[in-house]
Amino acid sequence: DGGITQSPKYLFRKEGQNVTLSCEQNLNHDAMYWYRQDPGQGLRLIYYSQIVNDFQKGDIAEGYSVSREKKESFPLTVTSAQKNPTAFYLCASNQRGTSGSNEQFFGPGTRLTVL
Partner 1 sequence: QKEVEQDPGPLSVPEGAIVSLNCTYSNSAFQYFMWYRQYSRKGPELLMYTYSSGNKEDGRFTAQVDKSSKYISLFIRDSQPSDSATYLCAPARSNDYKLSFGAGTTVTVRA
Binding site for partner 1 (CB under 8 A): 4, 31, 33, 35, 40-43, 45, 48, 88, 90, 92, 94-109, 111
At closest approach, how far in Å is the CB of 25 from partner 1? 12
- Among 16, 14, 58, 7, which residue's Cα sits nearest to residue 36? 58
Who's near 62: CB < 8 A, 6+ residues apart? 81, 82
- Among 69, 67, 87, which residue's Cα sits nearest to residue 20? 67
16 vs 39, which CB is nearer to partner 1? 39
77 vs 105, which CB is nearer to partner 1? 105
57 vs 81, which CB is nearer to partner 1? 57
Q: For residue 1, which amino acid is it?
A: D
